[in-house]
Amino acid sequence: MLRALTGALRLPRPWRPLQTRSCASDGAAGDPEIQVRVLAGPDQGITEILMNRPSARNALGNVLVRELLEALARLREDQQVRVLLFRSGVKGVFCAGADLKEREQMSEAEVGIFVQRLRGLMNEIAAFPAPTIAAMDGFALGGGLELALACDLRVAAASSAVMGLIETTRGLLPGAGGTQRLPRCLGVALAKELIFTGRRLSGAQAQALGLVNHTVPQNEEGNAAYHRARALAQEILPQAPIAVRLGKVAIDRGMDVDIASGMAIEGICYAQNIPTQDRLEGMAAFREKRPPRFVGK
């Protein structure tokens, strides 16, 4: 088992910075439904994926899912991405879930294929090597909440965010990871209650249950959760990026096994961090009583 883990946890090949597409969309037919933004200045290291499908409230249709998968495939190899932030360009909504109008036109076989792709998208988000944050300023229902659950951290507006796995109210059940990630987040009994009832929660209620990390009062622009998420990302930026990524691996892999195996995974991750320049820089900075300058090597 440890031999398999060692191979699975091996660091990727040296990363190279990639050029990301930044293409605004007004929601018209044929336009891109997402925008990838690479921030600069004090936010350098933060990359945003902005969902912008106003005509369908960012519902997860074929095009949006394809564009998200393409963006993730490009970004996962880019060392410059230290935090990936998911946000909405549509006021009042994060993601309304799966596009049921589109799905209604599908055959049973096509529905099965699409849901498999949707589940694959959530798995790609969960497996993204850098920390991910969902900024929920509005509705995050069904697949929209499943997308947020696939992220490492979640921030919500206290009053305007509304979230829930509401699939049972539509004759469905969560099919993009909700039945697995919600119990791991909240515990089995509470997850069952929320899924069985299809209950909707405000941002404040979600924080009280531990579903989101932070809530904030909404502002006039309707993007308070985004600003709080960006501030949270700024707290991550100064830290050693390889250590952060390996910490994510250790937590995620360790949660799926017994504690003894989890400790072995932690040991493997720690061993991979020992030869890094950043570890030596951290010790030197401590000795010299100065802020460390981590470079991700």
Residue 26 placed within a domain: no
Domain limits for position 129: 34-237
**Angle 113-178-74 (CA atoms, 0-180°, nearest 5)?**
60
CATH code of 139's domain: 3.90.226.10
Question: How many domains in the chain?
Answer: 2
69 and 126, same domain (yes or no): yes
CATH code of 269's domain: 1.10.12
At 173-188, the pLDDT tens digits run: 999 999 999 999 999 9
Tokens at 296, concatenated: 């991700």
226 and 255, same domain (yes or no): no
At 102, is the pLDDT very low, low, confident or very high (cuts 50, 70, 90)?
confident
Segment of 20-24, 145-149, 280-284 carrying the highest mean pLDDT:
145-149
pLDDT score at 30: 67
101 and 172, same domain (yes or no): yes
pLDDT score at 98: 85
211 and 257, same domain (yes or no): no
pTM, full prediction: 0.89
- Is the per-residue pLDDT at 27 higher than 70? no
- Is the per-residue pLDDT at 49 higher than 80? yes
Residue 117 placed within a domain: yes
Residue 297 placed within a domain: no
169 and 252, same domain (yes or no): no
At 24, is the pLDDT very low, low, confident or very high (cuts 50, 70, 90)?
very low
Instruction: Report the alpha-carbon distance of residue 71 to residue 179 in Å, rounded.
Output: 26
Could you list the active site residues? 98, 143, 146, 167
Residue 257 placed within a domain: yes
